Structure 1
Amino acid sequence: MQDLNGSHRSKSRTFGRWLIPACLSLTACDGPPDRTPALGDANAAEGRQLVTAKGCVACHTFPDVTWPRGGLGPSLEDFGRQGLIAGRLPNQPGVLMQFVRNAPGLVPGTAMPAILMTDQEARDVTAYLLTLKPR
């Protein structure tokens, strides 16, 4: 085998030259990086209060809210175990934070309105929703 400079190299040496970088690049192939915002400072108890204050209870039912109990939207009583948001989006914190603030932006045609809330409020509501699992 001859390289660009005209010198001869063995196949094994050339193969070894590419083998190590190829193996190292394979170790980095564990899927896309996690771009999920941290919920570390989220307060699920505050999120529970926000679903009432922001009007979510007018359309959805929640396990620990006795009134009002909306029936227009789906029950969220076991939302934390669902794989999808609105039957279309992965139920992941970053996606859910966006969805609770601007559902029509992510799922055009949805009946759920955009809801004015801060980033912290979206984190709190997300943390609360993800705690909703059957007991």
Structure 2
Amino acid sequence: MRIPRRIGVRWPVLLAMSVLVAVPACSRTDPSPPPESRTGNPERGAELIQQYGCGSCHTIPGINRANGLVGPPLTRFGARSYIAGELPNNADNLRRWISNPQAVEPGTAMPALGVDPIDAQDIAAYLYTLD
């Protein structure tokens, strides 16, 4: 049995259209990049990053000798959507993560360094300059 030509032409078009509709439906929409932290002192944050030794585990632009390879590089941190692959990247979540990462993700390799809330706010302010 022979298929009429016009049906044979429609089939590829319908298939292509269904793929175009299905592919975007499968993608996940990431949250928008975090707003710049409106609180905190980024200059003090840079000093605190050195004081707490964050660069021994992370590569952090603008911080002298911050070229660690244990944790992820913090390059372009201000443009990222998530913190530790779990939390939406915003100032409150970042301060929480810096102050007590074990409370956010038990067993994470990021140690609890005893960073107080004001220091965490300043460190976050610096990290949000990295976009």
Is the 2:44–2:122 Cα contact (8 Å) retained in structure 1? yes
Aligned residue type for 1:116: G
Alignment of 1:70-89 (within 5 A): 70-89=68-87
Q: In 2, Cα distance between the equivalents of 1:85 and 1:71?
A: 17
Give a deviation string over 1:39-75, Cα, whole Å, max 9, x none: 5441001101111100111100011124141000000
Structure 1 ranges of 4+ moved more than 3 A:
none
TM-score (norm 2): 0.68
Larger Cα-atom Rg? 1
SS of match in other structure, 2:128: helix
Q: In 2, Cα distance between the equivalents of 1:78 and 1:131?
A: 8
| Percent of residue pairs identical | 39
TM-score (norm 1): 0.66
Aligned partner (choices 100, 103, 106) of residue 102 of structure 1 = 100
What does residue 118 of structure 2 align with?
120
Q: In 2, Cα distance between the equivalents of 1:54 and 1:124?
A: 12
How many residue pairs get aligned? The number is: 95
How far the C-alpha of 1:116 sits from its partner, in A, is: 1.2
